[in-house]
Structure 1
Amino acid sequence: MDHVTRPRILVVGAGFAGVECVRRLERALAPGEADVTLVTPFDYQLYLPLLPQVASGVLTPQSTAVSLRRSRKYRTRIIPGGAIGVDTRAKVCVVRTIADRTLDVPYDYIVLAPGSVTRTFDIPGLTEQAFGMKTLAEAAYVRDHVISQLDLADASEDPDERASRLQFVVVGGGYAGTETAACLQRLTHAAVRRYPRLDPGLIKWHLIDIAPTLMPELGEKLGRSAQEILRRRGIEISLGVSIAKAGPEEVTFTDGRVVPTRTLIWTAGVAASPLVATLGAETVKGRLAVAAEMNLPGHDGVFALGDSAAVPDVAKGEEGAVCPPTAQHAMRQGKAVADNVIATLRGRAMRPYVHKDLGLVVDLGGTDAVAKPLGIELRGLPAQAVARGYHWSALRTGVAKTRVMTNWLLNAFAGDDFVRTGFQSRKPAQLKDFEYTDAYLTAEQMRERSERTGAPQG
């Protein structure tokens, strides 16, 4: 009976925002004060900023998958699946489990932190041919694919096939795209020494972006430094350019160039999770329009944060400014929203989220990096120390920190074995296969579902 009468808090998503929210709830709630449930398809929190290092073999996949259950007081119930719809009138979240069962999960308070999905456009062939870099499986798959291109090029007697397999295209000049291109270029540069039949000069990496500059948030000087580092390594950077169409053996740029390639990696931005659309609530550029306290106006007991919410950036003091979708903000929002849920539960006043951005770090692999902590511009080894120090300290468990540090040291002294681990199968697995964006219910389907269950209107 106690279980029925206790308030039910449902957290959707185990990214930076969701995990920090759950951890704060567990620490701050009194035993028996509320039931906490977490909806996530995986039993780990992915440390997303280090995915390029997984793809390049610097880190093992397990290093960036931080266990959700490694906690001395972990008592949160985990539902292994993904939220595909939210009925705010009936206070029900529709969940599709990893066993493909559909559950109606009731709640009193819901915290929406479903994160984001890769933003795509209506470009012919894009979703069929491109690889993403949003999930652990994608990073491991991309590594296998890149190494397989070297293997196949080495075995081929056709010069055209060999040339196309040794050209790689990365779309997206933000942090994810720039770090991905930088880390994978280092992988191929080191690996080609083990392939005496291959001409290193045939390996070409292209980094393109429709914007006029790389990583504009870094500022002109640091952005230019990053470009110089990449160009010095032989990466061809094309700005003001995107993809016109993609095929299995070539990619056409919007400036008319046709690049023979078997590798297209798409990192051109993110969009809020399709779960947002099922609420039928007001949005700002696709993200839920929440108050500074991260509650959703007009929807009782609904909170949203992270990549799927347009949280006002109070620290900037500019009207209409919202927090960027970064891990730095998501982690702090998770703690703040937990405090506000507890405040609501206890009948106290909520507090607005306020955090001033601490700066940016970009790890380009090896000793190359640029960083801007607290507005101070750094390059080279000092920037690398800050970048890796920041990521290392942000890892949630001592085990994860030990694994990452061990991997960094081992890679620095022993290098890579350039082994394909078997993720590369005969059947291609591109962007459309990793993000199940067609699994979500539509707002209309949610209305019909609500009417069938007899939820009150209003």
Structure 2
Amino acid sequence: MQSQRIVVVGAGFAGLETVKRLEKVLRAEMGRGEVEVVLVAPNDYMLYLPLLPQVASGVITAQAVTVPLPRAVKRAHRLPGTVVGVDLASKSCVVRKISGEVVDLPYDRLVLAPGSVTRQFDIPGLEENALGMKNLAQAAYLRDHVLSQLELANASTDDEERAARCRFVVVGGGYAGTETAAQLQLLTEAALKRFPRLDPGMVRWTLVDIAPRLMPELGKKLGEQALDLLRRRGVEIKLETGVEEVTPDRVTLSDGTVIPCRTLVWTAGVTSSPLVKNLDVDLNRGRVQVGADLELPGYPGVFALGDCAAVPDLTQDDKEAICPPTAQHASRMARTAADNVVASLQGRALTQYSHHDLGLVVDLGGSQAVAHPLNLKLKGMPAQAVTRGYHLFALPLMRTRARVVANWILHLFGGDDFIRIGFLSDRKATVDEFEGTQSYLSAEEIRARAS
């Protein structure tokens, strides 16, 4: 039999779990060289995204939330780079290696799991002045930036400058935005002891969202409890409010409020990777439309899953419902995707993906959390125990779990040193720059390359 090449794009929850499943199922065939699995990813780690706010706040280190691919991937070939285009007609990926070299990578089966990028809107000044929280570099940069604002405010003799540097705005009242605001508020509160010239009342955090409720996925009761908890900690929450304009030193909101500040963190949702948007295929809410078997209609052997894919949610009565872009769904879709890739190689029927959501957990820092697992509504220490237990269960490697637990214990008893790393201080801090959204090829460029 002629050797078959399976290309997996992306090493997030969906991509890595797909590769691990393929290695297990195809162990014999890979050993004989009948099947080659190639994982294309720019980094040599999988990022455990749900704990990113704890990296920004210094609760855990950056290394603790990474799963090293050399340990997790045993037999598959790893190609360090980014798939910047796919020619579905000729069955070939365009890969930009981390060296900058651009190469073509033919495939027999393709699994698209490039994830998502920060969703931005056409708001004046947003692109130039907003900070994101979608990857490890952004979290490290944000921590440095927040601490530098406190340092600069402490050193300034201008009252207006000091006030602006001590104001922080987070846009997005979902899981990511709420946890980011909560964790970083505790960071600045604890850091104030290092800055004697700053009055505690000067440091203020504002969480803004256009929705009428905070984290609607939690349900009304738990959402209101989280809102009340944050407000009691001094976080100002402005719901049903949008952003009108952003400048380097102020944010103007849709209700007319003008907030002098030097920090706007943008977490107002995600959108599919530009890779899938340039495929010239049907999209659903910005995600590539696939069947319940995760296969791309009209392109046998091409599968998409995770944040980039609109997968029908068979557990809902609504026929138009699609699975939410969560790590929980992505990791479980991976098993179906891998099994269907193997089934397509062997000429068997494909299976459909179906999974009942197990609920949401939200870590608000310290002993504070809210959780909605298996229809239970928890808050406080019980919720925190469930939240951290879930994260440990979801982490792929035992050594990664051990590192996270060690970090939690060290931070609990040793606190934070509030040190700025500084290695990203000379880098342009825009969302597009950190997430590389401008590096992908358009559909026209892909067709021109093929001809």
Per the TM superposition, whether the score is higher than 0.5 is yes
| Counterparts of 1:239 and 1:265, CA distance in 2 | 16
Q: 2 CA distance for matches of 1:242 and 1:79?
A: 41
Task: Answer yes or no: is 1:385 the counterpart of 2:385.
Answer: yes
The 8 Å contact of residues 140 and 423 in structure 1, kept in 2 or not, is answered as no
Aligned to 1:54: 55
Paired position in structure 2 for 1:440: 440
TM-score by length of 1: 0.96
Measured in 2, the distance between the counterparts of 1:282 and 1:328 equals: 25
Whole-Å separation in 1 of the counterparts to 2:24 and 2:385: 32
How far apart are 1:284 and its partner, in Å? 0.4
Give the AA of the match of 1:49: P
Mark the runs of 5 or more structure 1 residues left unpaired by the alignment.
Answer: 453-458
Determine what percentage of the aligned residue pairs are the same residue: 59
State the match for 2:251 in structure 1. Answer: 251
Q: Which amino acid in structure 2 is aligned with residue 40 of structure 1?
A: A
1:76-99: CA deviations, max 9, x gaps? Answer: 111111111111110001111111
User: Is it true that 1:42 corresponds to 2:37 in the alignment?
Assistant: no
**In 2, Cα distance between equivalents of 1:326 and 1:390:** 14
Gaps of 5+ in 2: none
8 Å contact kept, 1:114–1:273: yes
1:251-271 deviation line (CA, Å, top 9, x unaligned): 111111111111000000000
Could you tell me how far apart the structure 2 residues matched to 1:396 and 1:308 are?
A: 21
Letter in 1 for 2:218: L
Give the counterpart letter for 1:351 in structure 2: T
Q: How does 1:28-427 map to 2 (within 5 A)?
A: 28-29=25-26, 30=28, 31-32=31-32, 33-71=34-72, 74-427=74-427
Secondary structure (helix, strand or coil) at the match of 1:8 reads: strand
Q: Cα deviation per residue 1:319-374 (whole Å; 9 max; x = unaligned)?
A: 01110000000000011100000011111111100110011100000011000000
Superimposed CA distance per residue, residues 280-320 of structure 1 (whole angstroms, 9 cap, x where no aligned partner): 11110111110100000101211000011001111223201
Distance in 1 between residues matched to 2:37 and 2:56, nearest whole Å = 34
Cα deviation code 1:362-402 (max 9, x no counterpart): 00000110000000000000000000000011111111111
Moved more, 26-35 or 403-412: 26-35
For 2:6, the equivalent position in structure 1 comes to: 9
* Residue 427 of structure 1: how far off its partner (Å): 4.9
Deviation at 1:62, TM superposition (A): 0.3
CA offsets, 1:435-458, max 9 Å, x none? 1111111112222223x1xxxxxx
Return structure 1 stretches of 4+ with deviation > 3 angstroms: none
> Are the equivalent residues in 2 in contact too, given 1:145–1:424 (CA < 8 A)?
no
Amino acid at match of 1:318: D
Do 1:289 and 1:311's aligned partners in 2 also have CA atoms closer than 8 Å? yes
Q: Secondary structure at the match of 2:392?
A: helix
Deviations 1:54-109 (A, max 9, x none): 000001000011101114x7111111111111111100011111111111100000
One-letter code aligned to 1:363: D
Q: Supply the AA of the counterpart residue of 2:41.
A: T
Deviation at 1:428, TM superposition (A): 4.2
Q: Which amino acid aligns with 2:37?
A: V
Q: Give 1:171 shift.
A: 0.2
CA contact (8 A) 1:118 1:134 kept: yes
CA distance in 1, matches of 2:174, 2:438: 26
- The Cα shift of 1:430 comes to 2.4
Aligned AA (2:368): D
1:294/1:311 contact within 8 Å kept: yes
Confirm or deny: 8 A CA contact 1:128 1:432 kept in the other structure: no
Partner of residue 455, structure 1: none
Describe the SS at the equivalent of 2:375: coil
The CA RMSD over aligned residues, in Å, is 1.1
Q: How many residues align?
A: 447
CA distance in 1, matches of 2:426, 2:244: 27
1:25 maps to which residue?
A: 22
